[in-house]
Amino acid sequence: MAPKGTAARSFVGRIGQRREVVIPKQLCDAAGLNSGDQVEVSMRGHLLVLKPRKIAVETEQLTVTETKSGQKGAAQIRRGAFRAWRDIRRELDR
C-alpha cells in the first residue's frame, strides 16, 4: 500500500558514492521519516524494501530521572569514582 498522496506515482532518488540512498522528500514526508531515522532494508524478489525502524517504543524511553541518574553515573566513571564488580562481589561473599 502506498503512503497517502503517493499512489501510482514514481519518484527518483539517488545512490551516493558511499552507497547512501537519497529518498525523495515527498516519500519521506509520507512515511514520517526524518533525517537520522533508521530504516530496515530488505529484498523481496528483485525489489528493495525500506521500512521505518523505531529504536525504542514510547514505553521503553527513559524518564528524566533515569536519564539524569545515567549521566551522573557516567560522570563518576569518567572521574574514576567507581568500584569494580569483583570487589563488591568479594565483600558480599564475606
Supply the pLDDT for residue 5.
56
Judge if 48 and 66 occupy the same domain: no
The domain tally of the chain equals 2
Domain region containing 80: 62-93
80 inside domain: yes
Give the largest Cα separation in the chain, rounded.
Answer: 72
For residue 91, give the amino acid letter. Answer: E
Q: Is residue 73 part of a domain?
A: yes
- Residue 25 counted as domain residue: yes
Q: What is the mean pLDDT of the chain?
A: 82
Q: Are residues 70 and 42 in the same domain?
A: no
pTM of full prediction above 0.85: no
CA distance 55 to 40: 11
- The answer on 48 and 30 residing in a single domain is yes
60: left (phi over 0), alpha (psi -120 to 50) or beta: alpha
Quick: pLDDT tens for 7-47.
557 888 888 888 888 888 998 888 888 888 888 889 999 99
Whether 21 and 13 have beta carbons less than 8 Å apart is answered as yes
Distance from C-alpha of 30 to C-alpha of 9, rounded to nearest angstrom: 12
